């Protein structure tokens, strides 16, 4: 956690509002042409396209890179034979910061409309005004739903394998999930850890490329039709109990870490009742990234588009920005 000392004042963590008060100028009450919420592939691309259209643009996000940061190896993004999510997002960020785009690290708590102006309020108490909004805040990892889950988060339980994976060299870990993300994590961790337990709720459902690589790894032990029923340890996670969903039989596995790869939840809590969403709480958009509210556009994994890929998120971000420009021009 960063600690900033200014004269006699100690600022712990990234207090965006206080740091702006000291080092920058307040952007509160400034009316932006476009406010972009989220700084993943969709949000950052939207920012670049907005700047190219000479729109006064602000990006507000809790982090820079979004879900893409958690990708071990990306092999289907044009221009790169293989690139990590972290490397790719650094390229995105460099391009955004080379332009005249304002960026703030903060979390949006509410969004409303008043007399044709959109008003966003943040966790630091800041208020931002904009003529148009692009929603690109992505998703967050689902929880396992097991007792003591919060207690072990960061103490053996991880939702970011690319961040924490190297800590488990020659150790025993478990990966929970049966989709592409889970298999990719299991494959990569099998090259680092001594033993990997893959815990799959039903059956494995992943692309053939991942299945082939998974079958070649000899130190992955697979438990299908199974769920984690308990976590064990003191200050650190030391073991899990898995339950066979068919027989109810439970098995204890001694290990050092668990990586949860069971899916994602859209970051749309603050939009409840404001824009139309589907049953999964994804924002409904049309083919041109329009939401149910004029002047609000959406792009990337937070929307109801079927394909959840970095390259499609970036493309949708570009579309949303161009539509926001049309809205700005035509009023």
Active site residue 50: no
Give the mean pLDDT of 226-231: 96
- Fold of the 149-260 domain: FAD/NAD(P)-binding domain (3.50.50)
Instruction: Report the pLDDT value the prediction gives residue 27, as an integer from 0 to 100.
Output: 57
| 96 — pLDDT class (breaks 50, 70, 90) | very high
For the domain made up of 3-141+264-330, the CATH class stated in words is alpha beta
Closest CA to 18 of 1, 37, 5: 5
If 0-12 CB within 10 Å is exposed, 13-18 middle and 19+ buried, where does residue 164 land? Answer: middle
Find the catalytic residue in 148, 163, 269, 276. Answer: 163
| 326 — pLDDT class (breaks 50, 70, 90) | very high
Find the catalytic residue in 15, 86, 164, 244. Answer: 164
Instruction: Report the pLDDT value the prediction gives residue 210, as an integer from 0 to 100.
Output: 94
Active site residue 160: yes
Find the catalytic residue in 15, 86, 160, 244. Answer: 160
| 259 — pLDDT class (breaks 50, 70, 90) | very high
Residue 202, both tokens: 């039903």
Chain-centre distance for alpha carbon 313 = 12
Instruction: Report the pLDDT value the prediction gives residue 241, as an integer from 0 to 100.
Output: 97
Instruction: Report the pLDDT value the prediction gives residue 21, as an integer from 0 to 100.
Output: 63
Where in the chain do CATH 3.50.50.60 domains reside? Answer: 3-141+264-330, 149-260
Give the mean pLDDT of 270-292: 97
Q: What are the pLDDT digits (tens) for 165-190?
A: 888 999 999 999 999 989 999 999 99
Average pLDDT taken over every residue of the chain:
91
SS (H, E, C) the chain: CCEEEECCEEEECCCHHHHHHHHCCCCCCCEEEEEEECCCHHHHHHHHHHHHCCCCEEEEECCCCHHHHHCCCECCCCCCCCECHHHHHHHHHHHHHCCCCEEEECCEEEEEEECCEEEEEECCCCEEEEEEEEECCCEEECCCCCCCHHHHECCCEECCHHHHHHHHCCCEEEEECCCHHHHHHHHHHHCCCCEEEEECCCCCCCCHHHHHHHHHCCCEEEECCEEEEEEEECCCEEEEEEEECCCCCEEEEECCEEEECCCEEECCHHHCCCCCECCCCCECCCCCCECCCCCEEECHHHECCCCCCHHHHHHHHHHHHHHHHHHHHHC
Give the mean pLDDT of 30-57: 96
Q: Among 109-118, 146-155, 293-302, which stretch is predicted with the lowest mean pLDDT?
A: 146-155
**Percent above pLDDT 90 for the chain:** 74
């Amino acid at each position: 956690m960063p600690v900033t000392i200014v004269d006699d004042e100690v600022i712990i963590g990234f207090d965006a509002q206080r740091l702006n008060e000291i080092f920058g100028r307040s952007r509160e009450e400034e009316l932006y042409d476009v406010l972009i919420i989220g700084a993943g592939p969709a949000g950052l691309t939207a920012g670049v396209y907005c700047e190219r259209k000479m729109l006064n643009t602000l990006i507000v996000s809790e982090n820079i890179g979004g879900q893409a940061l958690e990708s071990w190896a990306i092999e289907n993004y044009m221009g790169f034979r293989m690139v990590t999510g972290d490397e790719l997002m650094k390229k995105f960020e460099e391009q955004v910061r080379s332009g005249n785009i304002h960026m703030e690290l903060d979390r949006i708590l509410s969004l409303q409309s008043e007399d044709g102006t959109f008003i966003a309020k943040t966790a630091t108490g800041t208020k931002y005004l904009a003529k148009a909004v692009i929603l690109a805040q992505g998703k967050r990892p689902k929880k396992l739903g097991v007792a003591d889950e919060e207690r072990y988060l960061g103490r053996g339980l991880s939702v970011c394998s690319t961040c924490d994976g190297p800590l488990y060299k020659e150790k025993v870990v478990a990966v929970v999930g049966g989709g592409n993300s889970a298999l990719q994590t299991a494959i990569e961790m099998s090259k680092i850890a001594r033993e990997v337990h893959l815990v799959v709720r039903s059956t494995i459902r992943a692309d053939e490329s991942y299945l082939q690589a998974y079958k070649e790894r000899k130190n992955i032990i697979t438990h299908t039709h199974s769920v984690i029923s308990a976590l064990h340890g003191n200050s650190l996670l030391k073991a899990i109990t898995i339950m066979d969903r068919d027989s109810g039989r439970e098995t204890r596995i001694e290990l050092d870490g668990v990586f949860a790869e069971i899916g994602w939840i859209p970051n749309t809590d603050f939009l409840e009742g404001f824009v139309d969403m589907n049953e999964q709480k994804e924002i409904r958009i049309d083919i041109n990234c329009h939401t149910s509210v004029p002047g609000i556009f959406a792009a990337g994994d937070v929307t109801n588009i079927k394909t959840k890929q970095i390259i499609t998120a970036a493309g949708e971000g570009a579309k949303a920005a161009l539509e926001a420009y049309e809205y700005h021009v035509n009023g």
